Amino acid sequence: MTAKIPAAILVAALAAVVNAAFAAPAASPAPVDIAALRAEVDRLADTVEPEVIANRRWLHQHPELSNREFETAKYLVSHLQSLGYEVQPGVARTGVVAVLRGGRPGPVVALRSDMDALPVTEEVDLPFKSTVRSTYDGQEVGVMHACGHDAHMGILLGVARILAQLKPQLPGTVKLIFQPAEEGAPRGEEGGAQLMVKEGVLSSDPKPDVIFGLHVLTQFETGQLGYRAGPIWASADDFSIVVHGKGGHGAMPWRGIDPIVVASQIVLGLQTITSRQMDLTKAPTVITVGRIEGGTRQNIIPDSVTMKGTIRALDESMRKDLHARIIRTARDIADSAGATADVDIGAETAYPVTVNDPRLTARMLPTLRRVAGAGLTEVAPQMGAEDFAYFAEKVPGLYVFIGVRKPGASMDEYAANHSPRFRIDESALKLAVRTLAQETVDYLGGSSE
C-alpha cells in the first residue's frame, strides 16, 4: 500500500523548487583592483622605508653564524607575530616561516630571505658596526653581515608589513621563508634551503605555486635591478684532494715521493680541464684551488699534502662532467709519480645551479620593468652560488639582483660582498621592497601588465 502525501506538503515543495529555480544567483566577489593594489604598495613602501632601515641596522649589529641564528630568529618572530602572521619558528633548526592568508581565494606565493652572517671581522666604521665575536671551525672570529643578509631580512620584514595592511584585498596566500645557513651549515650539520625543503616547507600547507627571492650586490648601482631567465647563479661544490707520497729528506728527493710536487702538477692539471676539455661556448666553468697544506720544515718532504677548492658550473650536465674529470685527473697525475690521490667532492657544499624559470620570468618581466624603469638590466649569470637553487628545483622561482652601490661611487668605496669593507647604500632598499611586494600582488592577482 502506498501512503498518500498531503496536498499542502506537495504545494509547499513545488513552491520551493520554483523559487530556487528563479532565485537570483549569489553575488560574485568584485574583481580585484590590481591598479589600486599596486598604487597602495608604492605608497606603503614610502612609509615603511625608515622601519626597513632600522630593522636592517639592528640585524647588522647583531649578526650570527650559520645554524646559530637564535637571537635573529627571535627578532623575526616578534615582528611577524605583531603583524598578525601565522608564525612557525624552529624550521631547519633556526629558520622562521610565516603565513598570511589573504581575504580572497587565490594562489600561494613564497618569498625568501636568508639569515646568516659570515666569519668576517668588520672594517667599516658605522654607528651600528658589528663587534660580535664567535667561534668558527675551532677558531675565534669576528662575525659580520658581509653578504647583505641583514638587508634581505629588513627588506622582507618591510614587505611583510605592507602585505599585512593589504590582507583584506589580497587574492591568495603569502608564505615568508626566513632561511638559515645559506652560507653553508657547520661541518657535520645539515642546514639551509636543502634542509628546509627536506622538512616540507614547500610541500606543506599552504603549498607555494612560485617563489621569489633577491640579493643585494655592490657591483650594481642603486636603482638597478638585474634579472635573467635561465641560470643566474652557478652550482658550487667543494672538493678535497689528499695526495699521499713518501716522506724523506729534502736533499735526497729520489728516496721519497714528493707529494708537494705532485699537488703542484694537479693544480695545473685541473686548470686544463676548464681551458681544454670543457665546451665553454655552452657555459663557463671554474675550478679553483683555494688552500694547500703540507709539510712542517723546509728540508723535509712530507708524507701527504691536502688541497681544498671549489667547482662552479652553469649547466648541470657540465657540473657532473667536471666532477668525473677532476677525480680522473688527480688520480692519474698522482699515479704517474708513484703517489696516490684521494678525492672527495661535495662533502660540505653541493649547491645546484640556480635557474630562473623562463615562463615565470617572462610573466613577471612587465612587473620588473614597471618597478625599476630604466634601471632594469638583463645581466650575465654569476659564478657565485646560492642555495635558493634547492627551492627553485621544486617550484618555479625568480631571483633578481638589487644594486646597492651609491651612483657614481667606485668599488673601492663599496667593496664586494664577503669583504670586511662591504657596505650598502640604504636608499636602495625601497626598490627591493617594492620589487618583492609588486611581484606578489601581480602574481596573486593574475596579472603583471
| Listed residue (57, 49, 232, 193) closest to 114, CA to CA | 193
Pairing of the two strands 210-221 and 397-405: parallel
From 85, 351, 390, 414, active-site residue:
351
Same domain, 126 and 209: yes
211 and 397 Cβ atoms separated by less than 8 Å: yes
417 and 217 Cβ atoms separated by less than 8 Å: yes
Same domain, 360 and 338: no
Same domain, 101 and 217: yes
Final residue belonging to a domain, choices 351, 372, 393: 351
- If one counts the domains in the chain, the total is 2
pLDDT digits (tens, 9 = 90+) for 374-413: 999 999 999 999 999 999 999 999 999 999 999 999 988 9
Distance between CA 232 and CA 290 in Å, rounded?
A: 23
Cell numbers found for residue 188: 657535520
Same domain, 80 and 129: yes
Residue 426 falls in the annotated catalytic set: yes
Same domain, 341 and 386: no
Same domain, 54 and 141: yes
Number of Cβ atoms within 10 Å of the Cβ of 316: 14
SS in 3 state form for 156-220? HHHHHHHHHHCHHHCEEEEEEEEECCCCCCCCCCCCHHHHHHHCCCCCCCCCCCEEEEEEEEEEE
Distance between CA 7 and CA 163 in Å, rounded?
A: 58
Single-letter code of the amino acid located at 300: I
Same domain, 228 and 278: no
CATH of the domain at 298: 3.30.70.360
Is 434 within the bounds of a domain? yes
Is 240 within the bounds of a domain? yes
Q: What is the DSSP letter of 255?
A: G
From 49, 123, 199, 426, active-site residue:
426
Same domain, 82 and 162: yes
Is 15 within the bounds of a domain? no
| Listed residue (83, 92, 139) closest to 116, CA to CA | 92
Kindly give the confidence (pLDDT) of every residue in the chain, 449 residues in length, as a single tens digit, with 9 standing for 90 and above: 444 555 554 445 545 544 544 454 444 566 789 999 999 999 999 999 999 999 999 999 999 999 999 999 999 999 999 999 999 999 999 999 999 999 999 999 999 999 999 999 999 999 999 999 999 989 999 999 999 999 999 999 999 999 999 999 999 999 999 999 999 999 899 999 999 999 999 999 999 999 999 999 999 999 999 999 999 999 999 999 999 999 999 999 999 999 999 999 999 999 999 999 999 999 999 999 999 999 999 999 999 999 999 999 999 999 999 999 999 999 999 999 999 999 999 998 999 999 999 999 999 999 999 999 999 999 999 999 999 999 999 999 999 999 999 999 998 899 999 999 999 999 999 999 999 999 999 999 996 55
Residue 414 falls in the annotated catalytic set: no
Final residue belonging to a domain, choices 351, 377, 393: 351
Same domain, 344 and 363: no
Same domain, 48 and 139: yes
The domain of 299 spans 235-351
Is 25 within the bounds of a domain? no
CATH of the domain at 108: 3.40.630.10
CB neighbour class for 92 (10 Å; exposed up to 12, middle 13-18, buried from 19): buried
Is 363 within the bounds of a domain? yes
Final residue belonging to a domain, choices 351, 376, 410: 351
Is 26 within the bounds of a domain? no
Same domain, 178 and 246: no
Is 16 within the bounds of a domain? no
